[in-house]
Structure 1
Amino acid sequence: MLKQFFILCSGADTDILENCSNGEQNKYAGIGATVFFTALMATIAASYALYTVFDNLYASLFFGLVWGLLIFNLDRYIVSTIKKRNNVLDELLQATPRIILAVIIAVVISKPLELKIFEKEINQVLLEQKNDLTLANQNQIAQQYNPKIADLENQITRLQSEIDTRETEVNALYDTYITEAEGTSGTMKLGKGPVYKEKREKHDAALAELQQLKTDNKAKIEAIENQIVTLQSDYTTNVAESQPVIDNFDGLMARVTALGALPWLPSFFIFLLFLAIETSPIIAKLLSPKGEYDFKLDDQETVVKSWVDQQVAERQLLVKTDNDINNKVYTEIADEEEVMNYKRKKARELMQHQADAFLNKQKGVL
């Protein structure tokens, strides 16, 4: 039962093969088994690849099965259409397009399995890429807010500098009127005279202005600090909102790219393995000698071809013979006097009808 199933997978003519030896049947059963297991591996590979895309088990299995059936049909077609020739060069030319197609199929099948085999290494590469993307994303968003925050901080510095400058001036006025009272500067007279009073009033006015400046600038500084807090909050929100996009950076294309960042040699050997599996039925048919099945298939095909060629040749001969007979008959008839007289009579009648028709037309015009 299993042998018959694999023979069916090989695409061989079962009616011819069942009359061949067991060795010939086993050869095609082996070719069919290779076709079947290649399609099975394609189903597994495609299901895993599609699972990384859809993240749905049932959808992945369904489309993976469809892909496996497609590969099975292609492989079965490739193997069944390769015919054994008497010339090796003809066989190679016949198999070249199919080998190219087999290489493409091997690449498509092997790549998803490489993603699964090197999953841990790929995850490490993706983690590093995500970290780089996170830092780049933070820096990019920060470029939108840092200039505004820096400008606001400069405004706070300027406001605070105004307070410090005015405070220095007030302290200088304070020292001036104190030393005047002590008699160590100014009029050099001890006591609180008119000059002391004048300097004290000037200090008190400057102190009042300082207090008012502190009140005004403090309110401005608080407003600016609130703006800075708002900008920092917006920055944090934008970073948090964009982070899920980076966290989900593990799709099929990202994994294939990450696989490309790994050493190429292990992936290349896996590709060679699937290439050997995919091309093995073709290579087996090319290397194997012309067997019993091939002779019987040639016999069956040549019988039909000979019959068709015979029918075509007979039709061509029939047409040629009929043309020759017709030409000879018409040549002989053309020389007969009776035919000439009949043609002359009919030509005369035709010319008379034409003359009558022309006369009647002219009368109608007049």
Structure 2
Amino acid sequence: MLQQFFILCSGADSNILKTCSKGEQNKYAGIGATVFFTAVMAFIASAYALFTVFENVYTSIFFGLIWGLLIFNLDRFIVSTIKKTNSFKSEFLQATPRIILAVIIAIVISKPLEMKIFEKEINQVLLEEKNTMTLANKEQIATQYTPKIEKLNSDISSLKNEIVGKEAETNALYDTYISEAEGTAGTKLLGKGPVYKEKRDKHDAALAELQSLKQTNAEKITALETQIAALDLEYADQITTTQPIINSFDGLMARINALDKLPWMPSFFIFLLFLAIETSPIIAKLLSPKGSYDYKLEDEESAIRTWVTQKVSQREKVLETDTLLNNKIYGEIAEEEEIYNYKKQKAEELLKLQANAFHEVQVKSL
């Protein structure tokens, strides 16, 4: 039962194979098994590749099954259409397009399985790329907010420096009138005289201005800090909004690019493995000697070809003979007087009818 299934997979004529030896049947069963398991691996590879795109098991299995059946049909067609001849060069020439197609199929099949085999290494590469993208994204978004925040911080520093300058001025006036009262500066007279009162008034006026300036600048600083907090919040929202896009950067193309960044030798040998599997049925047919199945198949095809050629030749002879007979018959008829007179009579009647019809039309138009 299993052998018959694999023979069916090989594309060989089971009726002819039944008349061949067991060795011949086993050979084609082995070729069919290779075709079948190649299709199975194509199904697994495509299902995994599609899962990285759709992230849905049932969708991936459905389309993977279609792809596996397509590869199965292609491989079966490739193997079944290679005919054994007595010339290796002729066999190789007819197999060349099929080998090229096998190489393409091997590439398509091996790439998703490579991604699965090297999944951990690919995840590491993607993690590094995501971290780099995250930092770059933060820097890019920061360029939109940093100048504004720096301008606001500069304004706050200016307001604070203005308060510090006013405080220094007020403290200097305080030292002046205290020194005047102690007699260590100014008039150098001990006590609180008119000069002391004047300097005290200046200090009190400066102190009032300082208090007013502190209150005014404090309100301005609070407003500026509120703007900075709003910009920080907006910056954080931008980071939060764009980060999921970076986190989802693990699709099929991203994984293929990550795979290309890994050492090429392991991937190359996996490709060679699938290439060997994919081309093995073709190579087996090319290298195997011409067996009884090939002779019987050639005999059956040549019999049909001869029969078709014979039928075509017979039809051509019939046509040629029929043409000659028709020419001779009609040539003899053309020479008979009775036929000539009859056709002349009918032609005259037709001409009279046409003339009468034309006359009636002309009369009606007047």
Q: Please report the TM-score for the alignment, with normalisation by the length of structure 2.
A: 0.92
Aligned-residue offset at 1:323 = 1.6
Letter in 1 for 2:227: Q
Q: Matched residue pairs, number?
A: 366
Query: 2:229 matched to which residue of 1?
Result: 229
Query: 1:294 matched to which residue of 2?
Result: 294
Query: 2:211 matched to which residue of 1?
Result: 211
Q: Give the Cα separation in 2 of the matches to 1:255 and 1:314.
A: 65
Q: Give the Cα separation in 2 of the matches to 1:258 and 1:365.
A: 90
Q: Give the Cα separation in 2 of the matches to 1:194 and 1:102.
A: 112
Aligned-residue offset at 1:243 = 2.5
Deviations 1:342-362 (A, max 9, x none): 344344444444444455555
Letter in 2 for 1:64: G
Aligned-residue offset at 1:75 = 1.0
Deviations 1:209-267 (A, max 9, x none): 00110111112212222322232233233323433332332232222111110011110
Change (3 A) 1:239 1:361: closer
Q: Give the Cα separation in 2 of the matches to 1:210 and 1:10.
A: 99
Aligned-residue offset at 1:364 = 4.9
Q: Give the Cα separation in 2 of the matches to 1:261 and 1:178.
A: 78
Query: 1:242 matched to which residue of 2?
Result: 242
Query: 1:127 matched to which residue of 2?
Result: 127
Aligned-residue offset at 1:135 = 1.0
Q: Give the Cα separation in 2 of the matches to 1:54 and 1:99.
A: 32
Deviations 1:77-134 (A, max 9, x none): 1111111234434323322222122111111111121112212211221121111111
Query: 2:140 matched to which residue of 1?
Result: 140
Q: Give the Cα separation in 1 of the matches to 2:160 and 2:311.
A: 110
Q: Give the Cα separation in 2 of the matches to 1:365 and 1:123.
A: 94
Q: Give the Cα separation in 1 of the matches to 2:241 and 2:175.
A: 58
Q: Percent sequence identity over matched residues?
A: 68
Q: Give the Cα separation in 1 of the matches to 2:193 and 2:352.
A: 159
RMSD: 2.2
Q: Give the Cα separation in 2 of the matches to 1:354 and 1:275.
A: 81
Change (3 A) 1:70 1:352: closer
Query: 1:259 matched to which residue of 2?
Result: 259
Change (3 A) 1:277 1:171: same
Letter in 1 for 2:192: K
Q: Which region of structure 1 is more displaced relative to structure 2, 66-75 or 14-23?
A: 66-75
Q: Give the Cα separation in 2 of the matches to 1:134 and 1:62.
A: 36
SS at match of 1:84: coil
Aligned-residue offset at 1:319 = 1.8
Letter in 1 for 2:284: A
1:82-121 alignment, distance < 5 Å: 82-121=82-121
Letter in 2 for 1:15: N
Q: Give the Cα separation in 2 of the matches to 1:237 and 1:362.
A: 94
Letter in 2 for 1:16: I
Query: 2:328 matched to which residue of 1?
Result: 328
Q: Give the Cα separation in 2 of the matches to 1:11 and 1:150.
A: 76
Aligned-residue offset at 1:45 = 1.9
1:11-30 alignment, distance < 5 Å: 11-30=11-30
**For structure 2, which runs of at least 5 residues remain unmatched after alignment?**
none
Change (3 A) 1:363 1:259: closer
Letter in 2 for 1:204: D
Change (3 A) 1:158 1:307: same
Q: Which region of structure 1 is more displaced relative to structure 2, 315-324 or 262-271?
A: 315-324
Aligned-residue offset at 1:158 = 0.8
Deviations 1:307-365 (A, max 9, x none): 22222222222222112111122222223333333344344444444444455555555
Q: Give the Cα separation in 2 of the matches to 1:49 and 1:276.
A: 22
Deviations 1:168-204 (A, max 9, x none): 2212222332333344444444433323222221111
1:35-114 alignment, distance < 5 Å: 35-114=35-114
Change (3 A) 1:183 1:254: same
SS at match of 2:84: coil
Q: Give the Cα separation in 2 of the matches to 1:47 and 1:355.
A: 82
Q: Give the Cα separation in 1 of the matches to 2:310 and 2:258.
A: 63
Change (3 A) 1:175 1:286: same
Aligned-residue offset at 1:270 = 0.5
Q: Give the Cα separation in 2 of the matches to 1:359 and 1:64.
A: 80
Query: 2:163 matched to which residue of 1?
Result: 163
Q: Which region of structure 1 is more displaced relative to structure 2, 327-336 or 69-78?
A: 327-336
Q: Which region of structure 1 is more displaced relative to structure 2, 234-243 or 25-34?
A: 234-243
Q: Give the Cα separation in 2 of the matches to 1:80 and 1:322.
A: 43
Change (3 A) 1:352 1:97: same
